[in-house]
Chains A and B, each alone.
Chain A
Amino acid sequence: MPGRGGHARPAGNAAESGVSAAADARDRAAGRPNASLLHRRGRHERLGVLCLALPSLLLVFITLVLPVGWLFGLSLLADDGSLTLEHYRKMLEQPSYARTFRTTFEVSVLTTGICVLLGYPLSYFLSQLPRRAANLCMIAVLLPLWTSLLVRTYAWLVLLQRRGLVNTWAMELGLWNEPVALVHNLTGTLIGTVHVLLPFLVLPLYASMMAIDRDYLKAAANLGAGPVRTFWMVFFPLSLPGLLTGALIVFILCLGFYVTPAVLGGGKVIMVSSRIANDIEIFFNWGAASALGVVLLVLTFAFMLIASRLLRASAILGHADPT
């Protein structure tokens, strides 16, 4: 091989580079185009092209990495500027923090659970429709995504208020006799978060259901399984990776959710994000807010990591591509 430089790869280690240097010399002597030089040039050019990503990287660095890093530093500083773990210790000691974290997890778990209960039948329904009808029904899932979050949150505020549409209609139908408090509490928060996050469950779940090979279902039916058994033993397990992806996306997004819980919770449902905002806006307590932010970030990344592990495992078990 050393004689024909045409297929020389860019040098990977010292031994190889010795060989390719020899090949270079031979190529040069024979007046052939120098293969490894071309490769090196190609590599340089590719590096040059990669520089096109630099402005974006710089932007992300200045407006994301730097600020978040700064907050990380602030979370470790006491008022007099010395290093301290004070802010993290307070988080463990003060019961109000425990309450905030409990509320955050409660809302996230309930939201994820309700989204699964509502989203699975909807996705299944969509996956069974003919293409054109499914695309039409898909608008119902995409329309909320396209609409401003604030608009939807406002709409729920209007619908759920004391004299709002839901209370009026429920009383006319005789479901309850006097206006029920549906907003500025946990109920309102959950209705809002489920409405906002449901599409994030349906989209990956629907995609994974569409990827299921229908021949498996036919085979199960052919082997004597009834529709119910086919669903639970064949279809449902194959749709699990998609369900898991969607549920984890919903859960992670809900952990850091600010706008909808802040408006529909009306100050009574304090999640981590609301607490961070309050620490800054009302108490100007940067240390506490930063420490809380760091914990939220670590939690988010931890769940992402768990998610990617789980998904890899379930992708192997379920044969389905989670993406």
Chain B
Amino acid sequence: MSAKGRPAGELPPPGGTARSATVAPVTWLRRPVTDTQITHRSRLWLYAIAVLVMAFLVIPTVIVVPMSFSGSQYLEFPPRQWSLRWYDNYFASASWMAATATSFKAAALTTLVATPLGTMAAYGLHVSRFRFTRLIVGTLLTPMIVPVILIGIGIFYVYAKLHLVNTLAGLVLAHSMLAVPLVVMVVLSAFKSFDANQEMVARSLGASRVVAFLLVTLPQIRFAVVSGAALAFLTSFDEIIVALFVSGGENSTLTRNMFNSLRDQVDPTIAAISTIMIVVTSLLLAVSQRFGRKRDP
């Protein structure tokens, strides 16, 4: 055993990293990590791989942010000269502005449609425990399984018959279908940890089912409903393939225009738009975390 001194029984819980600040690096290397007595030193290769993989995941996700402030045609990192020219480009372009407005409208409307629909479905499925409800849950989750390209061209075909192609309503309907499964999943899992007897008590005291739901149940599953709403918004805002086929003209979305521009060339304006999209997503997630936080568990 390389770890001198301490017998196995007195070892700190696995991973001394939290306390390693107070321990000299050399001793940290010799300390056992797990109950099987492996030391940090013999684990260094694992730490190296893990850090590299995490860098691989994170760096490409955030690197467009500094690059979008680059002044040159070829996006550099770090930028040799800083400028806002790509942002100017974006804000000055009428077509980019129109696409942005469409995306926000579609996402907001999708949230307004999918959140109540999904919450209602989750409530219905949770309360009525029939044997076949599993089948309904399965049906509601199929949009997550079917390849989106198939959904895209199928909806395009049906919408062409219904004259819904290139309309905001058609886009919102399609995006709501994609968002409902997420809302259902998040809210259903919240119901699993919710004590249904509370609603029973409220109803036995004279509240109707609707009142009992609104006053007793909803406040307690609020966190899940808000997360579901945020997911619905992002589903629509980030959706590409369906938008590619059913949005167009004055109702084409931001993602559709970005995708089409990416297929042609590397336009640095996209870096500016990407940064704005990252900011929107982060803000939305931060707000939904704040707004829907559980007070005490």
Interface, chain A (partner B; CB < 8 A): 46-47, 49-53, 55-57, 59-60, 62-64, 66-68, 70-71, 74, 118-119, 121-122, 124-126, 128-130, 132-133, 137, 140-141, 143-144, 146-159, 161, 163, 165, 195, 198-199, 214, 217-218, 220-221, 225-227, 230-231, 252, 255-256, 258-259, 262-263, 273, 276-277, 280, 286, 289-290, 293, 296-297, 300-301, 304
Contacts and interface: CB of A to CB of B under 8 A. Distances in A.
Contacts of B15: 128-130, 133
B63, B74, B121: residue with the most chain A Cβ atoms closer than 10 Å: B121
Contacts of A262: 263
B61 to A, nearest CB: 5
B151 A147 contact: no
Contacts of A124: 46
Contacts of B42: 227
A300 B147 contact: yes
Contact of A258 (B50, B60, B241, B278): B241
Contact of B34 (A51, A128, A280, A290): A128
Nearest to A126: B50
B57 A143 contact: yes
Nearest to B209: A49
Interface of B: 13-15, 17-18, 33-38, 42, 46-47, 49-50, 53-54, 56-58, 60-64, 67, 74-77, 117-118, 120-121, 123-125, 127-130, 133, 136, 139-140, 142-143, 145-151, 153-158, 173-174, 176-177, 180, 184, 209, 234, 237-238, 240-241, 244-245, 255, 258-259, 262-263, 266, 270-271, 274, 277-278, 281-282, 285
Contact of B147 (A52, A121, A255): A255
B130 A46 contact: yes
B36 A217 contact: yes
10 contacts: A50-B125, A55-B121, A60-B140, A60-B143, A60-B177, A141-B54, A147-B61, A149-B240, A221-B35, A290-B153
Contacts of A304: 145
Main DSSP-derived SS at the A contact region:
helix
A157 B63 CA distance: 12
A146 B231 CA distance: 10
B262 A263 contact: yes
B176 A155 contact: no
B35 A273 contact: no
B54 A46 contact: no
A286 B161 CA distance: 14
A68 B153 CA distance: 9
A47 B124 CA distance: 9
Nearest to A221: B36
Nearest to A192: B60
A19 B177 CA distance: 46
Contacts of A149: 238, 240
Contacts of B156: 280
Contacts of B37: 221, 227
B217 to A, nearest CB: 12
B271 A154 contact: yes
A198 B61 CA distance: 13
Given A67-B157, A141-B57, A218-B36, 10 more contacts: A62-B177, A66-B158, A67-B154, A70-B158, A121-B46, A143-B61, A150-B274, A217-B34, A273-B149, A276-B153
Contacts of B277: 147-148, 150-151
> Nearest 10 A-B pairs (CB), nearest first?
A67-B154, A256-B147, A52-B124, A125-B50, A46-B128, A140-B54, A53-B121, A56-B121, A50-B128, A227-B38
B45 to A, nearest CB: 9
